[in-house]
Structure 1
């Protein structure tokens, strides 16, 4: 087999491939990309057994072939390639040669047998719907930060995807200490099998976000135990996380507490300043509220403490409460609203964070013990 392909188009596909391939697995085949050439098409596939990606490029091909190459090295070779076109051809005997048209530069690579590569689900006829890439990117960005990174909390280590009503796509993520939720109207979402909701792994969601950022429109769908994302270049397939996502509705406060309105940028900068003395792990800040103002106090143990006073919109009784500043900052970082509203109940109920320019978005952050 001999194929000639445009470098930039190949590089774009391989960037998706190497992000999916499992570089740490004890199974060497999972760190490779399966290359298949036939009928003027080159198909590239990668998987870590939880996520799979298949990309296809139209190419000038002579003959047919299938083989596996080291995904990361193949990507690095193409990325550094000095010419516009890349030639991929099977060598006499064993291996594959990656070269330029003039044969001024050539790499001979050892290959893995194509038959050793795990099979990916065949996608055909599944119900899929269009969603603007910008919308999908926003929904993932505004939820993924709240997903758990602890291996022991497997069911919380992804984004819960479901429907809200007949026309809204909903995404929710939580690690037990904070929660993020966003709704967006997506025509046709009622045709997807999301009534019970599915959990998309963090790694898959991150790659979906990257793909969506490069596309005007993508297509999403559900197939048995996989979430699907189709773009102009290929298909991402993510196996659902098995497990029961918690009843997130039960922790959303049903009654309003003490409502405080902040300038988002000013509060964010103040939180960064008062936590300069805090430990890396815990960024505890005490909020001392009184009518029209709040004093933020960050403690650094033996290093001392930092204090800053801010003007806020609040007219209730004085009260004090502690928050993990990092959790608040991660919420503020994904919001667009200039002013944010913190609806604060007791020390044992979550604080609800919303903003007028972040319609359909809500975050919850649990206070810390005083």
Structure 2
């Protein structure tokens, strides 16, 4: 294998694939990337046995072949070259080292046999559809904060992606919950997604595909089966295993009779939460909401630091129901309100029941918060 590539182009691809590499893996080959030149095309691949990423890279190729190289070392070497450098990679085959040259710089990297590199086979993917990159970003951004990190409930360690109906209209729905909060976001169902199996996309896959979405603007092609999901975007193809488990019936925790409606400007509310919660260093940072007619008082108490309160009045608040008091973790309030622009709408039943949160006038995303005692 022999090729020449622009430093910036090669570095960008290596940055993508090395994120997939498992840093603490005990299997040496998984710390390597696979570089392959075939029919004038260079591809770079990496896998941790759960996720596989393959990217096609623009390069001038002189000889076909393939080689594995240590991902982190190769990335750092290329990163430290001058911006306008041209990188030459040359591997004669077998156990010979991989030669890298850039201007007057030269190094040789120890390689591992390519036949040890795992086969990147996605198997038969039964459903295929396309989603605009912006829509997929929205599904991820507005749900991933609620993904559980509790490994004992592994089936909550991802986003549940499935087809559903919303008031008789087919939708593609993403759901995440950790038992304390829930996020449910919808987009119109893409052509080809009808009848797709409900799948749980793992947290690491969600985070890695979200990074890549920042670099694309067109459609993302998604193919999936009951055990695998594949994303194709520009010159990249990511394949991931899915979480093998049954997602709970989340609809049971979404309240339907909450008729006490508080509307407040999101920016004003978020800023007030941040200010009153600053009084305490507790990780949970409980904040109490005392709601009256067109009035909201936020308060927090710390045994060591004291108390803090802030009042929002009729210029910022709309509330016409009976007064109530309810408490939430400040972090959970912020996680939800970060997803909402304009006015946020809190739908209460009482001070102890789950609260429904959404953007005023937007039914495409709803959030549920469990209250806490304060």
Query: By the TM > 0.5 criterion, same fold?
Result: yes
3-state SS of paired residue (1:49): coil
| Distance apart, 1:16 and its partner CA | 1.4
Structure 1 residue aligned with 2:239: 237
- Counterpart Cα distance in 2 of 1:117 and 1:357: 51
Point out where structure 1 has 5 or more consecutive residues left out of the alignment: none
- The 8 Å contact of residues 137 and 210 in structure 1, kept in 2 or not, is answered as no
User: By how many angstroms is 1:94 displaced?
Assistant: 2.1
Contact 1:36 1:67 in 2 (8 A): yes
Match of residue 24 from structure 2: 24
Partners of 1:296 and 1:285 in 2: CA distance: 7
**Local SS of the residue matching 1:302:** coil
1:317 and 2:319 matched: no
- 1:128 shift after superposition: 2.4
Residues 125-134 or 170-179, more deviating: 125-134
Q: Which residue is equivalent to 1:201?
A: 202
C-alpha separation between the residues in 1 aligned to 2:241 and 2:60? 33
Any unmatched runs of 5+ in structure 2? none
CA positional deviation for 1:150 = 1.9
After superposition, residues 158-307 of structure 1 pair within 5 angstroms as 158-165=158-165, 167-191=170-194, 193-194=196-197, 197-216=198-217, 217-307=219-309
TM-score, normalised via structure 1 length: 0.93
- The answer for the alignment partner of 2:336 in structure 1 is 331
| Preserved CA contact (<8 Å) 1:347 1:369 | no
Distance 1:90 1:124, change over 3 A: farther
Distance 1:34 1:228 in 2: 19
1:140 aligns with 2:140: yes
TM-score (norm 2): 0.92
Cα 1:126–1:247 shift into 2, 3 Å: closer
Q: Quick one: distance in 2 between partners of 1:269 and 1:253?
A: 27
Secondary structure of the equivalent of 1:241?
Answer: coil
What's the CA shift string for 1:219-271, capped at 9, x where partnerless? 11103411110011121111101112111011111213311001100110110
Q: How does 1:14-93 map to 2 (within 5 A)?
A: 14-82=14-82, 83-90=84-91
Give the distance between the partners of 2:79 and 2:205, measured in 1 at CA: 23
Report if the CA contact (8 A) 1:133-1:214 is conserved.
no
Whole-angstrom distance in 2 between the partners of 1:62 and 1:124: 34
8 A contact 2:289–2:326 mirrored in 1: yes
CA distance in 2, matches of 1:158, 1:282: 23
Where 2:222 maps in the other structure, the secondary structure is strand
Secondary structure of the 1:368 match is coil
Shift in CA distance, 91/360, structure 1 to aligned 2, threshold 3 Å:
same
| CA shift in 2, pair 1:152/1:2, >3 Å | same
Measured in 1, the distance between the counterparts of 2:150 and 2:331 equals 17
How many residue pairs are counted as aligned between the two chains? 365
Asked whether the 8 Å contact 2:129–2:193 carries over to 1, the reply is no
Separation in 2, partners of 1:357, 1:80 = 50
Report what 1:340 is aligned to: 344
Q: 1:161 to 1:134 in 2, by over 3 A?
A: same
